[in-house]
Amino acid sequence: MFSSLRGSSVIVTGGTKGIGKGIAGVFASENAGVLLVGRDEDAGRAAAEELSASGGEVSFVRADVSIGRDCDRIAEAATERYGGVDVLCANAGIFPQRPIREMSEEDIDDVIGTNLKGCILLVKACLPALERSGRGRVILTSSITGPITGFPGWSHYGASKAAQLGFMRTAAIELAGSGITVNAILPGNIATEGLGDLGDSYSAAMVASIPMRRLGTAQEIGHAALFLASLEAGYITGQAIIVDGGQILPESLAALEG
């Protein structure tokens, strides 16, 4: 089977809820040291307490990934608490729905600032520690929206998620010599607090378009992240793994009938 991640140091941004919490729970149950990152202190502390029960050592640092000095503090906290950074899961993201006609400059800055700039700032901040690890792993949470599909209201979001893959490909080349891999997971529709905010009718419409006829779970994204973090995945870099229950496959609604 796969080598153990016991004692590894893992950062999960947006680890306080949703997909990030699912990823963090999977690494915690492998007895890794897991640093959760988010802006809401109460939610962060509660998530760390809950996930600690599953085995690993889980703690929280309050930080905003769109701010450079906060990203530096994240890398410092992981190094102080868990001895370095072996795995960086850059997962924090926002997805406010806004048609282009109504989109403000601030809307664009918020989405690009968190989803794209935050991801680049964090990789830069963690780079010295990832290099020291000797087996560093960067795992980005992108999306099917942007790189593969589109949906009205998410043009800025889709652009940010597609741009993450552009960053990934060059980062994978630049960091390969340091033994660091850089890959992305492209989730389809995953049952999270953030998705829940979009309403029941949104989820129902999505389920109807997914061949597996259900939303994904945060743990299913966590398992893909665990594979990419494993020593055995050390020759995979610059790649995107779609985890979507087959959502991108149907050519038309007719493909889903019967």
Residues binding ligand NAP (CB under 6 A): 13-14, 16-20, 37-40, 43, 64-66, 91-95, 114, 118, 141, 143, 187, 189-190, 192-195
Residue 71, phi then psi, degrees to nearest 5 = -65, -40
The CB-of-12 to ligand NAP minimum distance in angstroms stands at: 9
Nearer of residues 46 and 94 to ligand NAP, judged by Cβ: 94
Helix (H) or strand (E) holding 36: strand 33-38
Which lies closer to ligand NAP via its Cβ, residue 57 or residue 64? 64
- What number of other Cβ atoms are within 10 A of residue 257's Cβ? 7
Angle at Cα 16 formed by Cα 15 and Cα 17, nearest 5°? 95
- The smaller minimum CB distance to ligand NAP, of residues 177 and 189, is found at 189
- Give the active site residue among 82, 157, 202, 235: 157
Please confirm, yes or no, whether 157 is among the known catalytic residues. Answer: yes
Among 187, 190, 178, 160, which residue's Cα sits nearest to residue 237?
Answer: 178
Rounded Cα gap, residues 80 and 37, in angstroms: 15
> Which SS3 state, helix, strand or coil, does residue 142 take?
coil
Q: Residue 177 Cβ, how far from ligand NAP at the closest point, in Å? A: 28
For the bound state, the minimum distance from the C-beta of residue 13 to ligand NAP, rounded and expressed in Å, comes to: 6
Q: Tell me the backbone φ, ψ of residue 254, rounded to 5 degrees.
A: -60, -30
Q: Of the two residues 65 and 168, which places its CB atom closer to ligand NAP in the complex?
A: 65
Nearer to ligand NAP, 178 or 203 (CB): 203
What is 186-234 written as a DSSP string?
EE-SB--HHHHTT-HHHHHHHHHT-TT-S-B-HHHHHHHHHHHHSGGGT
Active site positions, annotated: 157
